[in-house]
Structure 1
Amino acid sequence: MIRNFINLTEAELDRPIYRVFSSKWFFEMARNEEISLRQPSKWHDPFENFMLNATGERSDGSKFTVAFKDHLYGQCWTTKRESDAIWRIYSPKSDGVKVKTTIRKLFYALYSQAGSFKDISCFIGKVQYANKKKLIEQLSDPDLMRSRLIDSTGYGQAETLLFKRIAFSHEQEVRLIYNSPTNLKTEWFQFKFNPRELFDQVVFDPRMDYHRYKTDKERLINEFGFKMPIIKSSLYKIPELSFRM
């Protein structure tokens, strides 16, 4: 089981992680009680999954592409509790909702729903950051690439999603990864979960109108039965300051 946690120590598994959803996506997720993972090819950074998107070359010089790259799905979280950049990027309409859980709880939410092949399909890992040159150099190491592409445990394939350029290191990402045993032929993979058990806290966008915040909070309590702390971020709240002369 420890191999399902990549670049993580046992002590880190209960560390808090966070994700910001748009209000629309969040309430759909709460209503349907489904978490959605997406194929990396649909993520914004074109450098995502560069290893599996690269063209392979066999010892005889023949070329090939990695067919199972479309079997991989992921969802990005962060260990960063509060960030102006994250609110602005993932909540452009100032209506975002941030949820808090732990690495362990998020992994087991997926693991409990993944069926017979869960031990080789479910992973969670901390992203490793390096400059572009060092990332591309990995493609020139046949033994390294072989260990990632031909791995019956699924670990190697999942690990390919945990490399990003150093320019993105401020994101402090943790990624939930599902390696489907078959090609689902869809850009989304969804699994059922209980939001009242998974989420430890819900935080509304600091720029959200107070009346909207109160209305949405009451909806979470009354309609969805949320009992965890539900607050509005105080990121932009100005403290009452004084000075002496």
Structure 2
Amino acid sequence: MQDDQYIYRFISFYDLYQLCKKKKLRLSLLAVQEDMNEGMGAVLQLASPQWGSFFSNSDQIAGQHLQKLHNTYITCWSTEPDSVAMWALYSPNKDGIRIRSTVGRLKATLADYQEATSLWKHTNHIGGTELLTWHWELALVRYINLNIFIEEMNKAYTEFRTSCTESAKGNPEWWTAEDGYLTEAPIFAERFRKAFTMDYFLKNSSFSHENEIRGVVRAGIRNELDFEGWKRLDDPFRQLFKSAEPGVLPSFV
């Protein structure tokens, strides 16, 4: 996507008034979206090789999905300048308006918001429920048939497992050899990640008429760990940040 590419959004006159009055873009929590499959990409990501051993049952995965829904903000735009389907969906009473921006402007807006609310600017805010952010992304949505997508994931796993079994047949040292599994596994994991883990940018193919480009801001709240103590831990997996429980973060910002 080029920064000068035009993008469009269909909104009500009330939302336009709020946009002009407050002079800021409204972001919506993923949990308030009508599509019940929102965030499914983040859930499917848990099936990837690097996470599979940590999330092995449906309750764990459902819990992670709920966490993602209540700690992720999005703004949805379209690359399609005019669409009967979009007008019907977002202006059913024929009282809406289409606004235009560019990819570059949206990037700048998301970057500015994330910078202003960044966790690293609030390291001394121990505990509490203040909304803090740690990452933003902008990408085109990928539309998929979920059943086919899962079948392809399972097929990729099966083929890799079969390949490993064949390679190790009569040669058990292959599993620990530098030119064996230790090399093949990371290669497979990277290919799998690129092919199947689109995180927050997957939607059901029935929404393909939207031609959506989506901005995502990942949020949460500060935990109780002291910043100076955190620095002394020397542990890259220990965080200053935690996900908020459902209902803690506002639905719109």
Q: TM-score scaled to structure 2, two decimals?
A: 0.57
Name whichever structure is richer in helix by fraction.
2
1:157-209 CA deviation, whole Å, 9 max, x = no partner? Answer: xx41111122221111000110115346224352xxxxxxxxxxxxxxxxxxx
CA RMSD of aligned residues (A): 3.3
Residue equivalent to 2:199: 160
Residue equivalent to 2:25: 35
Change (3 A) 1:129 1:61: closer
Larger radius of gyration: 2
Q: Does 1:188 align with 2:234?
A: no
Amino acid at match of 1:31: K
Alpha-carbon distance between aligned partners in 2 of 1:112 and 1:60, rounded to the nearest angstrom? 34
1:62-83 CA deviation, whole Å, 9 max, x = no partner? Answer: 5523174122111110000011
Change (3 A) 1:176 1:138: farther
Output aligned runs, 1:61-210, within 5 Å.
61=56, 63-64=59-60, 65-66=63-64, 68-69=67-68, 70-115=70-115, 116=118, 120-137=134-151, 143=189, 159-182=198-221, 183=243, 185-190=248-253
Task: Describe the SS at the equivalent of 1:112.
Answer: helix
> Is the 8 Å Cα contact of residues 51 and 139 (structure 1) preserved in structure 2?
no
- Unmatched 5+ stretches in structure 2: 121-132, 158-188, 222-242
Change (3 A) 1:35 1:73: same
1:20-46 CA deviation, whole Å, 9 max, x = no partner? Answer: 111111111211122221122221111
Alpha-carbon distance between aligned partners in 1 of 2:100 and 2:87, rounded to the nearest angstrom? 14
> Is the 8 Å Cα contact of residues 76 and 176 (structure 1) preserved in structure 2?
yes
Name whichever structure is richer in strand by fraction.
1
Task: Describe the SS at the equivalent of 2:213.
Answer: strand
Alpha-carbon distance between aligned partners in 1 of 2:208 and 2:105, rounded to the nearest angstrom? 24
- Unmatched 5+ stretches in structure 1: 1-7, 149-155, 191-245
More RCO (CA 8 Å, sep 6+): 2
Alpha-carbon distance between aligned partners in 2 of 1:61 and 1:177, rounded to the nearest angstrom? 27
Change (3 A) 1:61 1:83: closer
Change (3 A) 1:161 1:60: closer
Q: Does 1:13 align with 2:3?
A: yes
> Is the 8 Å Cα contact of residues 15 and 102 (structure 1) preserved in structure 2?
yes
Task: Describe the SS at the equivalent of 1:125.
Answer: strand
> Is the 8 Å Cα contact of residues 16 and 100 (structure 1) preserved in structure 2?
yes
User: How far did residue 52 of structure 1 move?
Assistant: 3.7
1:2-59 CA deviation, whole Å, 9 max, x = no partner? Answer: xxxxxx4xxx332100001111111112111222211222211111112445787646
Task: Describe the SS at the equivalent of 1:35.
Answer: coil
Alpha-carbon distance between aligned partners in 2 of 1:40 and 1:131, rounded to the nearest angstrom? 20
1:116-159 CA deviation, whole Å, 9 max, x = no partner? Answer: 46995121110111212233347757847x969xxxxxxx7xx4
> Is the 8 Å Cα contact of residues 135 and 163 (structure 1) preserved in structure 2?
no
Alpha-carbon distance between aligned partners in 1 of 2:214 and 2:103, rounded to the nearest angstrom? 9
1:62-120 CA deviation, whole Å, 9 max, x = no partner? Answer: 55231741221111100000111111110112111211011111111121232246995
Alpha-carbon distance between aligned partners in 1 of 2:142 and 2:56, rounded to the nearest angstrom? 31
Alpha-carbon distance between aligned partners in 1 of 2:193 and 2:250, rounded to the nearest angstrom? 26
Amino acid at match of 1:188: S
Amino acid at match of 1:48: E
